[in-house]
Amino acid sequence: MPIRLGETAPNFNAQTTMGDINFHEWAGDSWVILYSHPSDFTPVCTTELGRTAALKEEFERRNAKAIALSVDDLESHMKWLGDIEETQNVKMNFPIIADEDKSVAIAYDMMHPEADAKFTVRSVYIIDPNRKVRLTLTYPPSTGRNFQEILRVLDSLQLTDGYSVATPVDWKDGEDVVVSPSIATEDIPDKFPKGHKVIKPYLRTTPQPNR
């Protein structure tokens, strides 16, 4: 069954390149970016794993951890780390799950026989500190993931969890946001003292409240 937004992310125990983990315990009170790759020693995923390592400080600034997965074994993963570090000029600093029995991939609906019965598809999940799935994405094999978009969504989720706002099309951290329709226009000044603009009765904007 596909994982739906708002569902609890399945827990699991697994071997990783940074030791054995229980997923929920490893996640702690952090946000998590969990993503899968088809197999080790693949070109696009080599670049993605390198970029993830390079973005460690950006994830930490957002109280987030990254973790990757494929159904290859731990020995294969460990050999691949050297190639990633050499070609992407990084030090690998986050775990890769070895999911040989495919139990995690199946629990997270990463196995798509129409794509390839043997490999996980290139999925992404953002999971919040309450273990709830907040974003799901699936990429085609030929298209590298956009980690700036993943960070943008993480920024949006963390902002909108704390305020009665939504983020409009192409929003980036620091830009104006949309006031929730549940807030009456006459109540906006009390809730958002930085000011607001009424474009339509249902479309009101205000400067980002946590900036």
Active site residues: 45
Tokens representing residue 131 in the block: 């273990």
Number of Cβ within 10 Å of residue 48's Cβ equals 23
Residue type present at position 81: L
Query: How far is the C-alpha of 120 from the C-alpha of 112, rounded, in Å?
Result: 7
Residue type present at position 181: P
For the purposes of burial, counting CB atoms within 10 Å of the CB of 17, is it exposed (0-12), middle (13-18) or buried (19 or more)?
middle
Give backbone dihedrals phi and psi of 154, rounded to 5 degrees, phi first. -60, -45
Closest CA to 147 of 206, 94, 73, 98: 94
DSSP three-state, residue 38: coil
